[in-house]
């Protein structure tokens, strides 16, 4: 699963900066950043933070989006609140089947850039948080789905997203050992050379010729040898220090055998 992330301004702007449009960067800084919750040293998806995502509609100019996908067919605020916490993640194996995700999987895929993500390890009746990132400390690009929803009660428009997950690699199999879950999971991390393949615009002719299969072939575990992990301070409860820069720093637990 992927319910906790770290992402900062420089990370979120990285893709836009590749395009080299200085005026676009200025516009993002002026108009979009005030609408986000950046910088995020740690946040939980259950808090529904707003970040920048890059969609298939404009691959180099981001939009502000709230974590927790609200399908276009949701009728009202009550139904939205009932589904919101259930769509933080989307299992890659079933995104083309489940009603909450299949329209977005077909037509609205996106990229979310993060510094890393947090996952809890279970040991001797307790849980221990880990921070997972790239060994070279470069940002991770997560595959996502997005949706636009209009609240008919007040006319407000919502752009929301979900992070796609896949089977955990050997490193995540060791960390993500929740006995209540069926097998280890991890976010779908895309290499830079495959980012544009994930957000390729939907085309009816291409769909008939195998666009869906091409997307499904992108859904697999990220190489273990390119990631690193260490334990961090508590992310829940009274010991939680909040969204502070130090939250991703290494913390050792003497009792933990890992």
* pLDDT 10s digits, 140-171: 999 999 999 999 989 999 999 999 999 999 99
* pLDDT 10s digits, 201-215: 999 998 989 999 999
**149 and 74 Cβ atoms separated by less than 8 Å:** yes
More confident residue, 182 or 30: 30
∠ at Cα 53 (116, 188), nearest 5°? Answer: 50
Mean of the per-residue pLDDT values of the chain? 95
Give the C-alpha separation, 215 to 144, whole Å. 12
Give the C-alpha separation, 108 to 38, whole Å. 23
Give the C-alpha separation, 180 to 95, whole Å. 22
Q: Span 29-36, mean pLDDT?
A: 96
Q: How far apart are the first and last CA of the chain?
A: 20
> Is the pLDDT reported for residue 227 higher than 90?
yes
Give the C-alpha separation, 248 to 167, whole Å. 24
Per-residue confidence (pLDDT) for residue 165, from 0 to 100: 98
Q: If pLDDT is split at 50, 70 and 90, which confidence band does 257 have?
A: confident
Task: Decide which of 3.30.830.10, 3.90.1310.10, 3.90.1680.10, 3.40.50.720 is the CATH code for 4-248.
Answer: 3.90.1680.10
pTM of the model: 0.96
Listed by start position, the domains of the chain span 4-248
* pLDDT 10s digits, 107-149: 999 999 999 999 999 999 999 999 999 999 999 999 999 999 9
């Amino acid at each position: 699963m992927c319910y906790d992330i770290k992402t900062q301004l420089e990370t979120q702007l990285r893709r836009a900066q590749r395009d080299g449009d200085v005026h676009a960067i200025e516009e993002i800084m002026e108009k979009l950043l005030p609408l986000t919750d950046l910088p995020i040293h740690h946040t939980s998806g259950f808090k529904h933070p707003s970040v920048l995502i890059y969609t298939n509609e404009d691959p180099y100019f981001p939009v502000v989006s709230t974590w927790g996908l609200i399908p276009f067919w949701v009728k009202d605020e009550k139904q939205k609140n009932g589904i919101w916490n259930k769509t933080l993640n989307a299992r890659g194996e079933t995104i083309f089947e489940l009603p909450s995700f299949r329209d977005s999987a077909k037509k609205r895929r996106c990229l979310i850039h993060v510094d890393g993500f947090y996952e809890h390890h279970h040991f001797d009746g307790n849980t221990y948080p880990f921070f997972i990132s790239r060994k070279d400390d470069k940002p991770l690009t997560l595959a996502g789905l997005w949706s636009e929803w209009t609240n008919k009660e007040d006319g407000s428009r919502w752009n929301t997203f979900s992070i796609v997950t896949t089977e955990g690699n050997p490193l995540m199999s060791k960390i993500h050992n929740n006995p209540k879950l069926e097998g280890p999971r991890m976010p779908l991390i895309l290499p830079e050379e495959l980012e544009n393949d994930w957000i390729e615009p939907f085309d009816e002719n291409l769909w008939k010729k195998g666009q869906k299969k091409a997307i499904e072939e992108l859904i697999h575990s990220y190489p273990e040898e390119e990631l690193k992990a260490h334990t961090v301070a508590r992310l829940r409860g009274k010991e939680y220090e909040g969204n502070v820069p130090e939250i991703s720093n290494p913390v050792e637990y003497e009792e933990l055998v890992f």
